[in-house]
Each structure stands twice: as structure tokens, then as C-alpha cells.
């Protein structure tokens, strides 16, 4: 009786003989995920500071907020005039020690020849060898000290600890920094969605569940899907925190809010292939076999529910009942 009343208000209703070989589908209810909309924010897996290894003055800053960086990229340079002065002093000392070493080598060679001819005693050769060793060791010590200063100068380059995006720069050119001071904050490139789910849905949430993000959130019509990686065991402000991985989040601002659909349990629904639905004048119809006849019944479509066994699945909210024989248009 309900269906006859509905059909009486339909302007277009078709009656015809059903072909004997027409493909039919028996309507049956199935269990589907009851999706709930929650908000999630785009967050980095970790935010790490790029720190200066020496103290001094910022003489160069190569990045600003929002710039992408790669691991090991030089983002700033720290200058220290004391290191340059120490380098010049060591260069002068190395030059003097090099001259002493050359003189000691010359004296050792000359004394060695005189000792071989018996002109000088062997004790003079030992003294010359000792003087040569002292000069060479002193030269090596000053050269090692210069290498230390050179390494400190090279450490004035502030390197990005990881690839990602600069969230905030904490200094400006001319700022005085100490060893270990943070220069910039960098968010690693592996962005995740951090969901905050009401605690009443916590019992339905677990790692490995699929989530869906509306395509409108990404500026297109195609929805994106992801997987929940981790559900945190602590409830904060009546909400459960979970992290999910969704492809294509790298172009978003850190902290951007998105609407995400998660599974909030299961419910029964009618899901049929979308190819069984015909649209005329803005109204959706399905062809139902009744005996030898087929009638067009208006329906109210829901959202697409694709599944492995039904890639083009479409939820029907009203107009069908269990046992209806649908005919392929």
C-alpha cells in the first residue's frame, strides 16, 4: 500500500514486460560501517630544532617560515671573530715552527756527516736528533690545533637536522647566539592526521581502521582514504587521540583542520550497484520486476559505498525492501 501511494505522486512511471533474459538482482540488507565525522589536524611526526654548534653572531640566514629544507642543508651561518684571530695566530706559529724544523733537519744532516768522518763525537748527533724530533712534534701539535679551529669555523654552518618545512625562525641576522641555541624549528616532512574522537566512539576505534577524508578538503572531488596507525591510551578533555596516515598531506599547512570520517560501529543498509539506478528529470529510479512486468520505483540515494565485492556500490536510503527483484536498465 505504501508503494502504491508513493507511485501515485510520481509523474513518470513506466510499466512494461520484463525481458526473459534480463539480469536481475535480489535486494538484501548488508552490514556497513556507520561513519562519524570528526575533526583532525595535520601535524608533523616530530618537530626538531636546528641548533648552532658554536657561539657567535648570525651573519647569514638562508630560510624563512614555510620554506622546504632537506636533511643537511645549510640554513644559517654563525661568525666568530675570535676564531679568525686564533687561526691567524696559529698560522704564524706554524710558520715559525716550520722554519725551526727545517733548520733542525739541516743541522742533523750536517752533524751526521761530520760524525761519520770522525770529526765530531756521536753525542752531538744524538743532540741534533733530539732537537729535530722536538721541532717536528711542535709543528704537528700546532697543525692539529689549527685543524680544531678550522673545524669550529666549519661548525658555524647551521644544518637542517631533517628534511621538512621551516615552521619558525627564532633569530635574525646580527643576533648573538650561544652554543646549542635553536636557530629554527623544522617539522619533518612525514605529516600525519591527528584525530580527536569523542570518547563514546573510543571502543570502535583501533589501529588498522580505515578513514576517509572528503575530496572537498583537498580542493578536488575525489575522496582520500587512510589508515589509523596509533590510538593513544590516554583520554584528554573527553576525546581519544589517534594518528592516521593519509597520502598527499605534504602540501598542507601544519595545524590545518580537516573533516574526517571514521567508523563508529556498524548498521544495516541496502547497497546495490550504481548501474541499476536511472535518473530522469532529477529523480532516481530503479526497475523492479513484479511478475512479468517491470515498474519504475523512485528511490532516495545515499553515498557511495564501494567494497571489494561491489566496487560501484551505492547506498539506497528509501524506496527498496528486502526481496525486491531489480532489473538491469
pLDDT in tens, 263-315: 777 788 888 888 889 999 989 999 898 888 888 899 998 887 777 788 888 88
Burial 125-141 (b: 16+ CB within 10 A, else e): beebeebbeebbebbee
Decide: helix, strand or coil at residue 130. Answer: helix
Task: Tell me how far apart the alpha carbons of residues 190 and 210 are, in angstroms, rounded to a whole number.
Answer: 19
pLDDT band for position 90 (50/70/90)? Answer: confident
For residue 45 the three cell numbers come to 611526526
Percent share of the chain, pLDDT over 70: 89
Query: Residue 228: what are its φ and ψ, rounded to 5°?
Result: -75, 125
Is 83's pLDDT higher than 80? no
Pairing of strands 182-188, 191-198: unpaired
Predicted local distance difference test score (pLDDT) of residue 50: 92
Nearest CA among 191, 203, 270 for reference residue 36: 203
- Per DSSP, helices labelled H in 117-199 are 122-154
* Cα–Cα distances in angstroms (integers) from residue 135 to residues 102, 111, 128, 158, in the given order: 9, 17, 11, 38
pLDDT band for position 12 (50/70/90)? Answer: very low
User: How many helices and strands in the chain, by DSSP H and E?
Assistant: 3, 21
Burial 181-203 (b: 16+ CB within 10 A, else e): bbbbbbbbbebbbbbbbeeebee
Query: Residue 207: what are its φ and ψ, rounded to 5°?
Result: -65, 140
CB 193 within 8 A of CB 246: yes
Task: Tell me how far apart the alpha carbons of residues 240 and 42 are, in angstroms, rounded to a whole number.
Answer: 16
* Cα–Cα distances in angstroms (integers) from residue 321 to residues 24, 49, 283, in the given order: 15, 61, 19
Q: Quick one: average pLDDT of 253-261?
A: 78
Decide: helix, strand or coil at residue 81. Answer: helix
pLDDT tens track for 13-59: 444 555 555 678 888 888 887 777 888 888 877 888 999 888 888 88
Predicted local distance difference test score (pLDDT) of residue 250: 56
For residue 22 the three cell numbers come to 534480463
Is 184's pLDDT higher than 90? yes
pTM, 2 dp: 0.51
| Residue, of 215 and 150, whose pLDDT is higher | 150
Nearest CA among 185, 188, 190 for reference residue 164: 188
> Rounded to 5 degrees, what angle do the CA atoms 156, 162, 164 make?
115
Task: Tell me how far apart the alpha carbons of residues 314 and 269 are, in angstroms, rounded to a whole number.
Answer: 10
Amino acid at each position: 500500500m505504501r508503494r502504491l501511494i508513493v507511485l501515485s505522486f510520481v509523474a513518470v512511471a513506466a510499466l512494461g514486460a520484463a525481458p526473459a533474459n534480463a539480469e536481475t538482482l535480489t535486494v538484501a540488507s548488508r552490514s556497513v560501517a556507520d561513519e562519524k565525522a570528526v575533526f583532525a589536524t595535520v601535524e608533523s611526526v616530530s618537530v626538531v630544532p636546528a641548533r648552532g654548534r658554536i657561539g657567535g653572531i648570525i651573519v647569514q640566514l638562508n630560510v624563512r617560515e614555510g620554506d622546504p629544507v632537506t636533511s643537511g642543508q645549510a640554513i644559517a651561518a654563525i661568525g666568530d671573530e675570535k676564531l679568525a684571530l686564533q687561526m691567524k695566530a696559529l698560522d704564524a706559529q706554524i710558520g715559525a715552527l716550520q722554519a725551526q724544523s727545517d733548520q733542525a733537519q739541516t743541522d742533523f744532516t750536517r752533524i751526521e756527516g761530520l760524525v761519520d768522518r770522525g770529526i765530531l763525537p756521536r753525542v752531538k748527533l744524538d743532540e741534533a736528533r733530539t732537537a729535530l724530533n722536538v721541532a717536528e712534534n711542535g709543528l704537528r701539535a700546532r697543525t692539529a690545533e689549527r685543524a680544531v679551529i678550522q673545524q669550529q669555523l666549519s661548525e658555524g654552518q647551521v644544518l637542517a637536522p631533517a628534511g621538512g618545512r621551516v615552521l619558525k625562525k627564532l633569530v635574525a641576522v646580527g643576533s648573538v647566539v650561544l652554543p646549542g641555541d635553536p636557530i629554527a624549528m623544522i617539522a619533518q616532512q612525514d605529516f600525519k592526521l591527528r584525530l580527536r574522537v569523542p570518547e563514546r566512539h573510543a571502543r570502535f576505534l583501533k589501529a588498522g581502521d580505515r578513514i576517509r577524508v572528503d575530496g572537498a578538503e583537498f580542493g578536488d572531488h575525489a575522496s582520500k582514504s587512510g589508515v589509523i596507525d596509533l590510538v593513544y591510551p590516554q583520554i584528554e578533555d573527553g576525546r581519544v587521540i589517534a594518528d592516521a596516515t593519509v597520502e598527499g598531506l605534504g602540501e598542507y599547512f601544519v595545524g590545518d583542520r580537516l573533516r574526517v570520517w571514521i567508523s563508529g560501529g556498524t548498521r544495516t543498509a541496502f547497497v546495490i550497484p550504481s548501474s541499476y539506478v536511472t535518473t530522469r528529470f532529477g529523480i532516481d529510479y530503479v526497475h523492479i520486476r513484479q511478475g512479468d512486468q517491470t515498474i519504475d520505483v523512485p528511490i532516495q540515494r545515499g553515498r557511495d559505498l564501494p567494497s571489494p565485492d561491489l566496487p560501484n556500490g551505492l547506498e539506497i536510503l528509501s524506496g527498496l525492501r528486502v526481496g525486491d527483484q531489480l532489473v538491469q536498465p
